[in-house]
């Protein structure tokens, strides 16, 4: 029997519909949602002949395991979990992208924690290289506590080239680096943005660092020199959300 699981959130469900609709068995939508986003989802489901069921929020909460960020939409899908391409996600957005790029994070516990942070901050996708990274294994998925389903995880062959592709889309790429002269709080983060973070200790690789549009530091007032990558991600991403008015 094929694996069956729930995914939730508009970005995840729409991307799944557009690129592998045959894997979507049913979609459950909060009957109270009558906004344009919900109407577009209904039309997309009709186009792909996927059954859509209007239901109550409590049922959606149960399907999503109590995750409050399901946004009123849950889909039952079959088949193994698939990674997406960057365009799969960016082409579905109706707001400035907020992305998290991880360079060289090899501990799956850190990746899972970063996914949880990304979910909480409303990040549209997490990008990581195929090599020199742990990958979305079972440990990372477990630590993510459901965020592996809500945050699209995108692997790329060449991270520097991907950063340049983001820049061609007018997405600002900011690398977190302790030696940077610029404080993260003075950067305008309201537009399209990708935060780029390296592994704890090693930091960003040289080519990644050189490819970023700019570098920024987290002010450190104590004796420690660096933070865990998931903690640093949270600081950077929630500053972006603060500047955007914390609207997901």
Residue ranges of the annotated binding site for S-adenosyl-L-methionine are 198, 218, 227
Calpha distance 214→164 (Å, rounded): 13
Six-digit token pair at 231?
């903690």
Q: What is the SS3 assignment for 58?
A: helix
Instruction: Give the residue ranges of the annotated binding site.
Output: 198, 218, 227
Calpha distance 51→196 (Å, rounded): 39
Residue labelled with tokens 């109550």: 56
Calpha distance 126→101 (Å, rounded): 6
Calpha distance 192→184 (Å, rounded): 15
Q: How many CB atoms lie within 10 A of CB 100?
A: 26
Q: Pick from 27, 41, 51: which is nearest to 94 by CA?
A: 41
């Amino acid at each position: 029997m094929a694996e069956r699981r729930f995914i939730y959130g508009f970005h995840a469900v729409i991307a799944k519909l557009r690129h592998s609709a045959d894997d979507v068995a049913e979609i459950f939508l909060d009957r109270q949602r009558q906004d344009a986003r919900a109407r577009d989802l209904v039309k997309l489901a009709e186009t792909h002949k996927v059954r859509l069921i209007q239901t109550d929020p409590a049922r959606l909460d149960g399907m999503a395991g109590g995750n409050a960020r399901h946004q009123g939409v849950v889909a039952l899908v079959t088949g193994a979990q698939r990674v997406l391409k960057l365009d799969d996600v960016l082409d579905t957005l109706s707001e400035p992208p907020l992305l998290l790029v991880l360079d060289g994070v090899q501990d799956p516990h850190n990746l899972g924690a970063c996914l949880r942070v990304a979910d909480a901050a409303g990040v549209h996708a997490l990008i990581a290289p195929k090599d020199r990274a742990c990958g979305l294994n079972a440990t990372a998925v477990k630590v993510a506590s459901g965020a592996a389903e809500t945050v699209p995880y995108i692997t790329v062959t060449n991270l520097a080239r991907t950063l340049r592709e983001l820049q061609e889309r007018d997405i600002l790429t900011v690398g977190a680096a302790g030696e940077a002269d610029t404080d993260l709080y003075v950067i305008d983060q309201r537009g399209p943005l990708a935060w780029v973070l390296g592994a704890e200790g090693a930091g960003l690789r040289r080519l990644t660092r050189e490819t970023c549009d700019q570098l920024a530091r987290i002010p450190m007032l104590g004796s420690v020199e660096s933070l865990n990558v998931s903690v640093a991600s949270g600081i950077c991403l929630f500053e972006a959300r603060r500047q955007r008015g914390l609207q997901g």
